Amino acid sequence: MVYIPMIMKHQSPGGLNGRPAVVLLSGGLDSATALAAAKYQGYQPYALTVRYGQRHHIEVDAARRVAAAIGVFRHVVTDLDLSVFGGSALTDDIDVPKDSRLEEIGSEIPVTYVPARNTIFLSLALAWAEVLQAADIFIGVNARDYSGYPDCRPEFIAAFEHLAQLATKAGAEGSARFTIRTPLIQLSKREIILRGVELGVDYSMTISCYDPSRDGEACGRCDACALRRQGFLDAGVRDPTRYRAGVHAS
């Protein structure tokens, strides 16, 4: 497979001389945009992908493509088997909900919720940040279009930032002031896509679908697909997602 590097249209002058930052990268639309934002802000990105017992590895392949295309100092893919705990459609055998009405999405916590996922991911990012002597961690959480997930809310992020300071040698000794950076937290999906396009993100490399085919085609019907399609539609940007046969882009 040939990966065509994305062109970072607005490469910051900070560039290679910036401070290191750990960026959580899932292979989805949001985290790709968060990575591009980190780079634009002049950070040296260290991308962290957690392979957490998903039923498919399509997301990890997407994360590798995105990391290579945007350009990172290092990309670590680490394994963590959350399926030993059970309890989620993304790690267990619960059916992914399909054909929800858009206005219903986010009104309650979805079955696709993975217990304590962002807490675990941020903890791992914190460990790496401390080793790298990085004070900044980027996460592409979004409280607006997906308010159903408790660990995407600003108050959760603030609580983690407080914890990070107490949890670490660097924090306890006062040599680092950890900051969890959430460039997308207040943006709509439309605004995220417009920001990403401005930064040169090639969204055809990303995958958001909860139930993709084996070769990475999106189902077009799960909640994540529904929000993503509507986002491209609202942004007036051509949807580059590869959908399964019979499903049409917005």
Judged by the rule CB under 8 A, the positions of this chain that interact with its own copies are 76, 78-82, 84-87, 109, 113-120, 123-124, 126-128, 130-131, 150-151, 153, 155-156, 159-160, 162-164, 166-169, 171-173
Q: Dihedral of CA 200/149/242/93: which sign?
A: positive
CB of 111 to its own copies, least distance (A): 10
CB of 48 to its own copies, least distance (A): 9
Q: How far apart are CA 32 and CA 18, in angstroms?
A: 19
The residue among 32 and 126 lying less far from its own copies, judged by its C-beta, is: 126
CB of 82 to its own copies, least distance (A): 6
Q: How many CA atoms lie within 13 A of 111 on its CB side?
A: 11
The residue among 11 and 147 lying less far from its own copies, judged by its C-beta, is: 147
Q: How far apart are CA 29 and CA 198, in angstroms?
A: 14
Token digits of residue 233: 């539609």
CB of 192 to its own copies, least distance (A): 23
The residue among 120 and 247 lying less far from its own copies, judged by its C-beta, is: 120
Q: How far apart are CA 145 and CA 106, in angstroms?
A: 7
The residue among 76 and 219 lying less far from its own copies, judged by its C-beta, is: 76
Strand partners, 28: none
